[in-house]
Structure 1
Amino acid sequence: MWVGSTSERGLHEVVLQVVGWSVNRVLAGHGGGSVDVALTHDGGVRVADYGPDGPSAADEDTGGRDLEALLTRMSSDEGAGRHIAHVSRSGQAGLFVANVLSSRLTAEVRRGGTCRVQEYARGVAAAQPATTESMAGSRTVIAFWPDTEIFETTRCSFAVLAERLRQVAFLNRSLRISLTDERPAGGAREVSFRFPDGVRDFVAALDAETPGTHHPDIIAFEHEDPRMAGTMEVALLWSGSRRERIRGFANSRATRQGGTHLDGFRDGVAAAVTEYARDRGLLTGDDAPRADGINDGLTAVVSVKLDHLEYLGATQGLLGNSDVRGCVGDAVRRHLGSRLKEHPQHAAQVIDRILRNTHQD
């Protein structure tokens, strides 16, 4: 129930639960920070976070609940009322799930010249916390060994986790996140991600996946709208490809079935293109470009971060927040419309392509 499977997929969910908790601690610092993930040679996983203001800033943001409570009790409201990153598909059950599904877990908090360590066995504290002096610096480290009596495999896929962490870095521009695999006999391998331009970098990477195409004219903006109690980041471009690639995310988790944020995005793009074409005399009467013509060759990322998420259906793949559609639609229409007016040569190329696609049989 907590992670959906005892297969490799469920194993990865446990890892992502812990990573998500650490990511949100870093983001709570409202500045640059890092999360380091390691797959250890003895089958464990180690997740360390280093926030810009130290762990105490994130602890205060979670209402003062201590680490032991998060490890031993299921929290039904963790992250409520904050734009948290839902790194795992299973939500924010967090550290409790990793603790009870691991044969062993250690939690280390280094702060203010002291280091506090506690060890657990299958969710139960194995000893009293040990406190010692430590070197300067602040960090929190969760190391755990998934239970071989629960999971079919306890060997994580480096490639699968690397791709998911790369996506998280795209969607949280202030975050640096790394993954190290200490298991290979020939030596460790490591990847590290940080994308200063966020979803703009995401769209550029998607565009680069299509051979022979590269388009620097990426339109991107970030906007906060109190009507939807959240923020949006949008980036898009029309490429030479005929393929439509529009990806939506809610609190850093993919919404594979779409939802109100993507409906609003398409509304806004259609409105901006139609208004611009009509103002330039390229459309007459009630004629309007077809949606498939507008979206042909469109690559886009639409990321919303909301205080409260509402999903339609049980899979949490379809965003249902009703206010989001109008908010995203208005923002896209306004920002895209302004961009088209400010860059008439690029706008002419986009509109000409759309109109040609619209009039093709």
Structure 2
Amino acid sequence: MTSSYSAAQIQVLEGLEPVRKRPGMYIGSTGPRGLHHLVYEVVDNSIDEALAGYCTHVEVDLNSDGSVTVVDDGRGIPTDIHPQTGKSALETVLTVLHAGGKFGSGGYKVSGGLHGVGVSVVNALSEWIEVTVWRDKKVHIQRYERGIPVTELIAKPYKENRTGTSVTFKPDPQIFTTDTEFDYTTLASRLRELAYLNAGVRITFSDNRLELLKSDTPKVETYEYKGGIREYITYMN
């Protein structure tokens, strides 16, 4: 047994390494609760766009390959170069902890996901993640694997004047102690609550896991409540 204690024993974790090393610190657990928290983090970003007045529709899809897709019609994550990191704002948000529009005064005045850990943690704990941004009459696409970008940010002209963000990710089975199968009821309950608490936002939830459903057609539910919290109280009673 050695008693030496030197610089060699000091671990320096860079980028998203700390998240992969201690995932429970960031998402609470590596069981079902933490697994579903990944979806909530991405959806909360879309809800923040709604609270800021820029998003009216959020779509959540459970895909047959075990991945999840969250699409919104907000402004789209910025893709220009970030002055501090020298990388695109999109890559910064996906690879730097606590990077986002919720911490200063210039991004969001109100935020539903302020106490969340951010989409960078989702990136770190996913086998892969693919982000598509529609903005400035262009479509921007980038893919990451276990937190590391494996493609450049690809930008192509887009005919329509569409705006929004799509995030598709597959949780990393190396991280989670149970399987990585999402529970429809758990997610439906959370999405329904978000729709009640954010009047005027429409959330469409689709389960495309036909084999699991033992069905030929996806299960689709839409949550939209003009009455907001009042309707929620009625629903709870």
Q: Same fold (TM over 0.5)?
A: yes
> Identity over the aligned pairs, expressed in percent?
30
Instruction: Tell me the distance in 1 between the aligned counterparts of 2:54 and 2:139.
Output: 24
Q: 1:176 and 2:202 equivalent? A: yes
Q: 1:3 aligns with which of 11, 18, 27?
A: 27
CA contact (8 A) 1:34 1:177 kept: yes
Q: 1:41 and 2:64 equivalent? A: yes
Instruction: Tell me the distance in 2 between the aligned counterparts of 1:6 and 1:12.
Output: 10
CA contact (8 A) 1:38 1:180 kept: yes
Equivalent runs, 1:209-224 vs 2, <5 Å? none
CA contact (8 A) 1:170 1:202 kept: yes
DSSP 3-state at the match of 1:205: helix
Q: 1:139 and 2:157 equivalent? A: no
Deviations 1:185-237 (A, max 9, x none): 31211111111111111111122xxxxxxxxxxxxxxxxxxxxxxxxxxxxxx
**Alignment-derived partner of residue 103 in structure 1:** 127
AA aligned to 1:194 is: E
AA aligned to 1:128 is: E
**Alignment-derived partner of residue 201 in structure 1:** 231
Q: 1:127 and 2:151 equivalent? A: yes
Shift of 1:94: 1.2
**Alignment-derived partner of residue 69 in structure 1:** 92
Q: 1:85 and 2:109 equivalent? A: no
What is the RMSD computed on CA atoms of the aligned residues?
2.4
CA contact (8 A) 2:58 2:72 kept: yes
Shift of 1:112: 3.0
Question: TM-score normalised to the size of structure 1?
Answer: 0.51
DSSP 3-state at the match of 2:69: strand
Shift of 1:138: 1.7
Structure 1 residue ranges without an equivalent (≥5): 208-361
Q: How has the CA–CA distance of structure 1 residues 31 and 117 changed in structure 2, closer, same or farther, with 3 Å as cutoff?
A: closer
Q: 1:149 aligns with which of 174, 186, 206?
A: 174
CA contact (8 A) 1:118 1:130 kept: yes
Deviations 1:232-267 (A, max 9, x none): xxxxxxxxxxxxxxxxxxxxxxxxxxxxxxxxxxxx
Shift of 1:101: 0.1
Shift of 1:153: 1.5
Structure 2 residue ranges without an equivalent (≥5): 1-24
CA contact (8 A) 1:106 1:118 kept: yes
Higher RCO (C-alpha 8 Å, min separation 6): 2
Deviations 1:115-134 (A, max 9, x none): 11011011011021222233
AA aligned to 2:76 is: P
Instruction: Tell me the distance in 1 between the aligned counterparts of 2:54 and 2:68.
Output: 26
CA contact (8 A) 1:39 1:182 kept: yes
Equivalent runs, 1:1-361 vs 2, <5 Å? 1-28=25-52, 30=53, 33-51=56-74, 54-55=75-76, 66-75=89-98, 79-80=102-103, 82-86=109-113, 91-136=115-160, 137-151=162-176, 152-185=178-211, 186=215, 187-207=217-237
Instruction: Tell me the distance in 1 between the aligned counterparts of 2:100 and 2:94.
Output: 15
Q: Which has the larger radius of gyration?
A: 1
CA contact (8 A) 2:73 2:163 kept: yes
Between Structure 1 and Structure 2, the one with more helix by share is 1
AA aligned to 2:111 is: I
Runs of 4+ in 1 over 4 A off after TM superposition: none
Instruction: Tell me the distance in 2 between the aligned counterparts of 1:117 and 1:204.
Output: 42
Instruction: Tell me the distance in 2 between the aligned counterparts of 1:147 and 1:72.
Output: 16
AA aligned to 1:72 is: T
- Tell me the number of residue pairs that the alignment of Structure 1 and Structure 2 aligns: 198
CA contact (8 A) 2:92 2:99 kept: no
DSSP 3-state at the match of 1:2: helix
Question: TM-score normalised to the size of structure 2?
Answer: 0.76
CA contact (8 A) 1:118 1:128 kept: yes
DSSP 3-state at the match of 1:55: coil
Deviations 1:272-305 (A, max 9, x none): xxxxxxxxxxxxxxxxxxxxxxxxxxxxxxxxxx
Shift of 1:50: 0.6
Instruction: Tell me the distance in 1 between the aligned counterparts of 2:210 and 2:111.
Output: 34
